[in-house]
């Protein structure tokens, strides 16, 4: 048997103006979990697209089970045994679990009719792989499932083609801690069946937990591969970014140095979504908002921003009563909101970086009644420089930037308006360690200039590392408050899950 189930040699792929991959090698063994790590824009997703036949490489070779293959289409790659779990879910919400799993290959009888009972039985067998056959109904509509269960369906859909290699590009980016544990169990079951998993993540702790081997990419080039047990985090980081990063969160300011009360919410609620939220943030303070997905954190943030206004309670900004009815109102008051969902709510994907940077602050970039191209270009250039955004040419639509660089554009756009209150929702989702430490530094310095920041995050280490004070939400209510310096992973989880015995009402 050949040593490697999947091998890529010297893969090169150029897009206009960027060499995304430059002679990259990858060697994947049967049944292993193989992590691919690298900074934003290093070429990870592009490499996966090449391996799944979406992009044709300019040069290089792919071998499966030792035999050279060439993929003329994505379907060809699937037929040869390479499957991918899409990061942006590809399911049809209005169809059942069974119909989604077997989208292109439903069992049919000789007349071409779908054999429904066989379809449901086979779906049940797939669900049983993850012990979900008694939990999920094969006929249930995908729309009715939690995001984590939708991802399970997405994985089952991918493995229904019987792949030798399953690619997961940042599969944990929208999962909670508990769901991640379950995903890892599922990955172990797949590898035990001989399927190799290619796993991309910016969370290095995940790499150490799940991966056997790691390949490091930097600037589109292969740096090295190694057995995970032989390397440590410093090794990965220094090979990914070419330098070591000491303390990614920076120092927490002395609570005495915080400014006056900037924002206060009293008894804020929105029927059926969240209720009775009392929350304060001082000028210069970073307030963490933790909780499980679905606890109401984003909804609370969006209410403060006027996107889906609260229907009970009051809000004060710098001591004055406010009631924003729309994001436009909120921005006018000096409130910003960095969305967790940059693809659908945050960015104008088909427009270049400059338009995205300018969108929130047209007034400031105008001379008289007209928006000044020179001022817009100046702001865009400054953002690219300050945030080290790898834009690959500023005329390019932001859709074509790597995920982390898109996130930096969004952050630059909001920090640029110097808001009085900035709500950031999952600010570093999909962002590499290097860029993450930069984003933390940007948020810290924004706070040091007086902005109050409310940070919604599912990343506990980020909540613990950055927050001056932490609110924990559970089931639509604020279950408790902890000083950042005193908080531990356990204390936050206890409040978030209600395990604290009486801590939540
Ligand atoms: N369709 C495209 N057109 C033009 N440039 C592209 C396209 N896709 C990717 N690129 C560029 O190729 C480079 C590699 O991008 P890629 O998405 O592979 O990075 P990545 O390692 O997956 O990053 P991230 O961690 O941010 O997801 C980047 O410079 C990106 O801007
Ligand atoms: Mg990517």
- Give the mutation target among 13, 15, 397 for probing the ligand 1 site: most ligand atoms within 8 A of CB: 15
The predicted model gives 67-84 an average pLDDT of 92
Q: What is the pLDDT confidence band of residue 194, given thresholds at 50, 70 and 90?
A: very high
Q: How far is the CA of 322 from the centre of ligand 1 (A)?
A: 42
Q: Spelled out in words, what is the top-level CATH class assigned to the domain 260-347+419-497?
A: alpha beta
For residue 243, pLDDT beyond 70: no
Asked if residue 199 lies in contact with residue 37, where contact means CB atoms within 8 angstroms, the answer is no
Which of 28-32, 286-290, 366-370, 486-490 has the weakest average pLDDT?
366-370
Which comes out higher in pLDDT, residue 361 or 191?
191
Alpha-carbon span 45 to 42, nearest angstrom: 9
Residue 87's φ and ψ, nearest 5 degrees, are -75, -45
Report which ligand 1 atom has the smallest distance to the Cα of 391. 31
* DSSP 3-state of 366: strand
Report, as an integer, the average pLDDT of 379-393: 81
Mean pLDDT of the 179-184 span: 88
pLDDT of residue 96: 93
- The residue whose CB lies within 8 Å of the most ligand 1 atoms, and thus the one to mutate among 18, 389, 399, 407, is 18
* Residue 112 DSSP symbol: S
Question: Which pLDDT band holds residue 424 (cuts at 50, 70, 90)?
Answer: very high
Distance 40 CA to ligand 2 centre (A): 7
28-37, 166-175, 187-196: least confident range: 166-175
Who's near 364: CB < 8 A, 6+ residues apart?
375, 417
CA-46 nearest atom, ligand 1? 18
Q: Where in the chain is the domain with CATH 3.40.50.300?
A: 6-81+163-241, 260-347+419-497
Percent of the chain with pLDDT over 70: 95
| 465-484 pLDDT tens trace | 999 999 999 999 999 999 99
How far is it, in rounded angstroms, from Cα 40 to Cα 401?
A: 9
113 CB within 6 A, ligand 1: no
- Tell me the CA end-to-end span of the chain in Å, nearest whole number: 60
What pLDDT is recorded for position 390?
78
- Tell me: domain 6-81+163-241, CATH 3.40.50.2300, correct? no
In angstroms, the CA 167 to CA 173 distance is 15
Task: Please check the confidence at residue 157 and state whether its pLDDT lies above 80.
Answer: yes
Beta-carbon contacts of residue 250 (< 8 Å; ≥ 6 apart): 440, 441, 444
Residue with the bigger pLDDT between 270 and 377: it is 270
Beta bridge partners of residue 218, listed in sequence order: 221
Taking the C-alpha atoms of residue 55 and residue 48, their distance in angstroms, rounded to an integer, is 9
Has residue 148 got a pLDDT over 50?
yes
d(CA 242, CA 42): 12
3-state secondary structure of 391: coil
Residues with Cβ–ion distance below 5 A, ligand 2 = 45
Q: How much is the pLDDT for 214?
A: 98
- pLDDT confidence band for 326 (50 / 70 / 90): very high
- Quick one: average pLDDT of 128-157? 89
pLDDT band at 423 (very low <50, low <70, confident <90, very high): very high
Residue 323 has pLDDT above 70, yes or no: yes
pLDDT of residue 89: 65
Q: Give the residue whose CA is nearest to atom 31 of ligand 1.
A: 401
* Radius of gyration (C-alpha) of the chain in whole angstroms: 24
Residue range 131-143: mean pLDDT, rounded: 91
Taking the centre of ligand 1 as the mean of its atom positions, its distance from the CA of residue 211, in whole angstroms, is 23
Question: Measuring from atom 3 of ligand 1, which residue has the nearest CA?
Answer: 400
Does the Cβ of 163 fall within 6 Å of ligand 1?
Answer: no
**Mean model confidence pLDDT for the chain:** 88
- pLDDT for residue 399: 83
Which residue, by CA, sits nearest to atom 9 of ligand 1?
Answer: 400
């Amino acid at each position: 048997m050949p040593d490697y189930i999947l091998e890529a040699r010297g893969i090169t792929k150029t897009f206009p103006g960027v060499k995304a991959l430059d002679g990259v090698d990858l060697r994947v063994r049967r049944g292993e979990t193989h992590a691919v790590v690298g900074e934003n824009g290093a070429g990870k997703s592009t490499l996966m697209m090449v391996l799944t036949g979406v992009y044709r490489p300019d040069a290089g070779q792919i071998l499966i089970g030792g035999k050279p293959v060439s993929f003329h289409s994505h379907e060809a790659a699937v037929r040869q045994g390479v499957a991918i779990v899409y990061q942006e879910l590809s399911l049809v919400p209005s169809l059942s679990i069974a119909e989604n799993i077997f989208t292109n290959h439903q069992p049919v009888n000789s007349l071409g009719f779908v054999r429904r009972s066989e379809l449901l039985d086979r779906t049940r067998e797939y669900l049983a792989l993850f012990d979900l056959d008694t939990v999920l109904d094969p006929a249930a509509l995908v729309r009715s499932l939690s995001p984590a269960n939708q991802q399970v369906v997405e994985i089952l859909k991918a493995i229904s083609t019987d792949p030798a290699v399953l690619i997961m590009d940042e599969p944990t980016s929208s999962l909670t801690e508990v769901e991640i544990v379950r995903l890892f169990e599922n990955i172990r079951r797949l590898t035990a069946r001989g399927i190799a998993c290619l796993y991309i993540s910016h969370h290095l702790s995940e790499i150490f937990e799940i991966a056997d081997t790691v390949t490091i990419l930097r600037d589109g080039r292969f740096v090295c591969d190694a057995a995970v047990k032989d390397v440590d985090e410093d090794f990965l980081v220094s090979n990914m970014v070419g330098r070591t990063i000491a303390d990614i969160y920076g120092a927490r300011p002395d609570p005495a140095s915080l400014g006056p009360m900037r924002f206060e919410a009293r008894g804020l609620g929105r029927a059926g979504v969240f209720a009775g939220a009392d929350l304060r943030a001082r000028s210069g303070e970073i307030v963490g908002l933790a909780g499980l997905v679905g606890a109401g954190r984003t909804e609370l943030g969006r209410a403060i921003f006027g996107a889906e206004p609260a229907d009970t309670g009051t809000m004060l900004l710098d001591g004055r009563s406010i009631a924003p009815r729309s994001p436009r109102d909120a921005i006018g008051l000096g409130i910003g909101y960095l969305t967790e969902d940059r693809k659908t709510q945050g960015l104008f994907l088909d427009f270049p970086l400059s338009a995205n940077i300018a969108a929130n602050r047209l007034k400031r970039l105008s001379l008289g009644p007209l928006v000044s191209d020179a001022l817009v270009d100046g702001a865009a250039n400054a953002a690219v420089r300050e945030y080290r955004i790898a834009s690959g040419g500023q005329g390019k639509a932001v859709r074509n930037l790597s995920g982390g660089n898109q996130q930096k554009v969004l952050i630059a756009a909001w920090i640029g308006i110097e808001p009085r209150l900035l709500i950031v929702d999952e600010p570093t989702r999909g962002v590499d360690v290097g860029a993450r430490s930069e984003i933390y530094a940007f948020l810290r310095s924004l706070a040091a200039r007086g902005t109050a920041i409310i940070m919604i995050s599912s990343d506990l280490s980020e909540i613990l590392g950055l927050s001056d004070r932490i609110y924990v939400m559970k089931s639509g209510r604020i279950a408790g408050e902890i000083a950042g310096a005193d908080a531990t992973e356990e204390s936050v989880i206890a409040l978030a899950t209600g395990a604290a015995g009486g801590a939540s009402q």
